Every structure is written in C-alpha cells, then in structure tokens.
Amino acid sequence: MAPVEKYLVKGKEVAIEGKLVNRNYTDKQGVKHYVTEVVASDLLMLGPNKTAQAE
C-alpha cells in the first residue's frame, strides 16, 4: 500500500481492512513490552471531500 499520510488528517473518517498483529520484545533494561499493530490491506476514505465541505 502506498503512503497515505498526505491524504489523511486528524478527524478524517476511514475504513481499514486488514489484520491485527501482536508481538512482544524485551528492552535493554529487561522490561517486556507488548505491541499490537494494524496491518492494513485496504483503506477506504469516508465522509465528504474538501470540495464538498466548501459548498
């Protein structure tokens, strides 16, 4: 999937299809961290576009 950060802004509605990936790691201090990542396979931008908002 191409980078989409130039199209997304805070508050913009999107629908994301994909999967959640859970992983963990231990840092240098010995603390175990758990991470959940969204691996998107499809993204749909919802809501009005900028031109429709201006009207």
Domain total in the chain: 1
- Please provide residue 4's backbone torsions phi and psi, each rounded to the nearest 5 degrees: -120, 5
Tokens of 16: 């994301």
Domain that includes residue 29, residue range: 16-46
In a domain, 21, yes or no: yes
pTM of the model: 0.56
Question: Has residue 7 been placed in a domain?
Answer: no
- What tens-digit pLDDT sequence spans the chain (55 residues)? 567 788 888 888 999 999 999 999 999 999 999 999 999 899 899 988 765 544 4
- In this structure, is residue 26 part of a structural domain? yes
Name the residue among 44, 42, 41 with its Cα closest to residue 13.
44
Number of residues in the chain: 55
Cβ neighbors of 43 (< 8 A, separation 6 or more) are 1, 4, 14, 15, 16, 17
